[in-house]
Amino acid sequence: MFRRFEAGVDRIRALKPFNLCGVRYLREPCQPLKRCPRWVCVEDAVKIINSEHLVFIQGSSATPMELIRGMTEHGVCNNLRGVRLLHMGLEGSAPFANPEFEKHFRSVSLFIGSNLREAVNEGRADYIPIFLHEVPKLFFEKRINPDIALIHVSAPDFRGYCSLGTSVDCTRAAVCTAKVIIAQVNEHMPRTFGDAVIHCSHFDWAVRYDCPLPCIAGTPPTDIEQEIGKIIATRLIEDGATLQMGIGNIPDAILCALGNHKNLGVHTEIFSDGMLDLVEKGCITNKKKIKHRGRAVSTMVLGTKKLYDYVHNNPFVEMLGINYVNDPRVIAMQPRMTAVNSCIEMDITGQVCSDSLGVKMYSGFGGQLDFIRGAAICHDGRGKAIIAFPSVTSKGESKIQPVLKLGGGVVTTRGHIHYAVTEHGVAQLFGKTLRQRANALIQISHPDHRECLEKAAYERLKTMPTKYL
């Protein structure tokens, strides 16, 4: 039943989160505010940004590129200093990260995209190592207090409701705490449901700018990637399993190999094109899920126009905050939860490096450990936590190494990983000794590197790797 807000509560940021069964939720407004946004051009909207402001920017395929362009030009032309920009992975060129603008802007990434990688490694930008399900806590607990939030939404419907579209993630938490909200309103933004819904009266400024969303189309999987996909689909994924997969050739290869599976479910951080064919074939039904039965749950959508058209006005896909979607306790409630993630390298004891190339930062924690742990503690005891990768890099180096490169970050510890998969097979690591782990991982490494790995394992462990206790 609808209720009215108490007098004086005129901002969505005034709402307080609450706890239910240990999970952090947001108490949403039941009525729109009794005011309208100020519709202006982008140049007028960004004038409110001043030196030393902390600006949150919505990311992924919902990156508000026109607002970023206007903000960058405004900051340079008005010689602003020390504007801090907080965001997850952004699409587009990120002009504020150019070396000549270093005195004006400093980017702080919660996940490093390719457009910020160079700036972070050159010291012109920063990165916060954090599990993605904990990001909203930074806002709710007031560790981060954005002055301004730049967001990207769908056009309002006849009641004035917009949608955060393809990127809910931590954006919902940011708009609840930001002092000012500036929205880029775009008719090409899909209207999604769940935590994505927001009334236009909560915007302080609104800019109408219609443009297609960035499209990410992968290349066809290689023979090696197809083999990895076939191994995982046939040996590890059961009928009725709930899936989490990212984007990329290996996830796409796995999904392509699932055409004969039945009653699969989806509870994933990123909803991608690879899942559409399985939905159309009737393989993904979500009917076996314990929570959100009949619906695919995600917090971001990233892919092609076909994907964006599919999620538009489609209640089959429920977009929820990342503090819920990526919470290991929620993930663990899904039946036969199967999480598939990748890595940059792995050592012979099972330590997984996924965020750096030695000391050089590459990406971030992301949701890897959120889902790896959630799958491992799956309530029905049939979850699977999988790290999948080709046995060698594009340069022919083994991805399984005696030790991680100097400075390489451990995202998933040797205690968390249960399965490692390459094109040469499956290594089951749960409950294995160091010697057993080394043996299992050497067996799925590339044959050209096995002898060297065996010698290195003997030097490191002072004994030969073996499959026996």
> Are residues 89 and 111 in contact, defined by beta-carbon separation less than 8 angstroms?
yes
Q: What are phi and psi of 15, to 5 degrees?
A: -70, 145
d(CA 10, CA 257): 51
> Are residues 340 and 237 in contact, defined by beta-carbon separation less than 8 angstroms?
no
Dihedral sign from CA coordinates of 152, 216, 304, 302: negative
d(CA 298, CA 300): 6
d(CA 435, CA 468): 8
d(CA 95, CA 106): 12
Instruction: Characterize the bridge pairing of strands 360-361 and 384-388.
Output: unpaired
Helix or strand run (H / E) with residue 352: strand 352-353
- Please give the positions annotated as active site: 269
How many other C-beta atoms lie within 10 A of the C-beta of residue 316?
Answer: 14
CA 20 to chain centre: 24
Distances, alpha carbon 434 to alpha carbons 84, 221, 404, 444, in Å: 45, 33, 15, 16
Distances, alpha carbon 21 to alpha carbons 138, 147, 194, 329, 369, in Å: 20, 31, 19, 10, 21
